[in-house]
Structure 1
C-alpha cells in the first residue's frame, strides 16, 4: 500500500498505549488515535476509518474489546489485533468469532507486536491484490439472474441453478459459496454484490456472512436459523426484518 497504514489503538492503560504508539510511529505507521473506551473507539472509526485496530479485550465500561469489535464490524470491515492479559479459553473463543488477524498476550515483547502488525499488513496487501484480480474478471464470472433461476460459472461452463433449490449463500472473503440441493458453487463476487443482484422476494441477508433463501428456513431460534441442518447466525439488527418477511411469504 502506497500510503502509511492507519492504526487505531484502543487501550485503557495509557502508558502501554503510549509505548505502542511510539514504537509503531517509529516504524512508519500512522497512529490516528489512542482511546481508552469502547464508545470513543466506535466514534473514532466512524470519523477516520483505520486499516488496523489494536484492541485491548479488557476495556472498562459496558462494552469490552470483543463487544466493541462486533459493533464496529456491523458497519466496517477492519483488521483487528487483540491485546489481552487474560487469554483464557472463554475470551479466546469469543475473540475468535470476530475473525481477528492476530492475538497478542500481555506482557508482550516489542518484536511480537511488530511481527503481528507486519503479518497483518501482508494480509491486507494480499487482499487488496485479490480485489484487483477479481475486479478484472468479475464481468465474465458474475452470475446472470433470471426471475426463477441464476446462471453461475462452474467448471468453465454457465450452469443454471433454480432459485427454489438454493439453501443459502455464504461469504468467503471476496467470494461467495452457493449451497443448493446436492451442489455447491464458488463464485467470484462479494456477498454485498450478490445481495444486490438476487431477487428480494426470495432472499434476505441475515448476517454479514450469510444470505438465506426464506422459503428454505426449517427452524428459527433466538440468535440463529436452521436450513438443511446448518445453523446460520442472525444479526440482532436483521432479526426483526427476517420475522417481518417470513409473515409475508
Structure 2
C-alpha cells in the first residue's frame, strides 16, 4: 500500500469520524436539552394543576405520564439524529412486544392497577389507609407504585397491583369515627357502679359527639374479668387523642374508686402428702 492510499484512508476516517462525532454530540445535546425541557414542561403543568385545585393524586399521575411520553419522544429524536431508522426500531420493538409483555407483565399489571386507582379513586393523596399489606398516609399514587408514609415517618413503596388485589381500608373518607374500648374489671366489682363511672368519664370529654349516642354495656363474662364495651363517636381528627385520653382517665378513675382491673394470674395449690 503506497503513501497516497494511506493518506486517503486517513482522510476518509477523519472525515467520517468528524461527521459521526458531530452527530453523536448533536444527539446528546438533543437528549439532555429535551430531558430538561420535559422536566420544565411537566413542572409547569404540575403548578398549573395545583393552582386550579386539581386533585393531587390525579395531578401526580398525569404529570408522570406526560413526562415519560415526552422523554420517549426525545429519545426517538436523538436516535434519529444519529442516523438510526426509528421506523425499523419501532418494528423491532413491535415484533418483540409479546416477549416484552410476558417479561414485564408485573409492571404492566401495576400500570393497569394505577389507572384503576385513578379512575375509581378508592384512595387519594393525604388519606390514611391500610392497603397492599401496609398502613400509612398516601404520599403519591404513581404509574407503577404508590408511596405511603407511616406515622413514624417511614416510606413504604407498594406496587399498585398489590393495592387493587386486596382489601383497601380508608380511614379518611368519613368525618366521624367510633372509638371502641373494652374495659375489664374484677368479678367482685359492682356492675352498676362501673357503668356509672365509665359514663361520667366519657361525658367529661367535650370532644365526644354525645348526640350520636354513647354505648356502655356488659360485653363479656371472661375467664378472669367482666368486660365492658365503651363506644362513642368522635371527629376523625380527634380519634387517637380521645382514645389515649380515655384509656388513661379510665385507669386513674377506676383506681381512685377502688375498682380492680384484673390481670392474668395463676393460683398454685400444694397438697401435703399424707
Q: Which has the higher strand share?
A: 1
Q: Which has the higher helix share?
A: 2
Could you say which structure has the greater relative contact order, defined with CA pairs below 8 angstroms and 6 or more residues apart? 2
Larger Rg: 2
Bin of the TM-score, shorter chain as denominator length: under 0.3
TM-score (norm 2): 0.24
TM-score (norm 1): 0.26
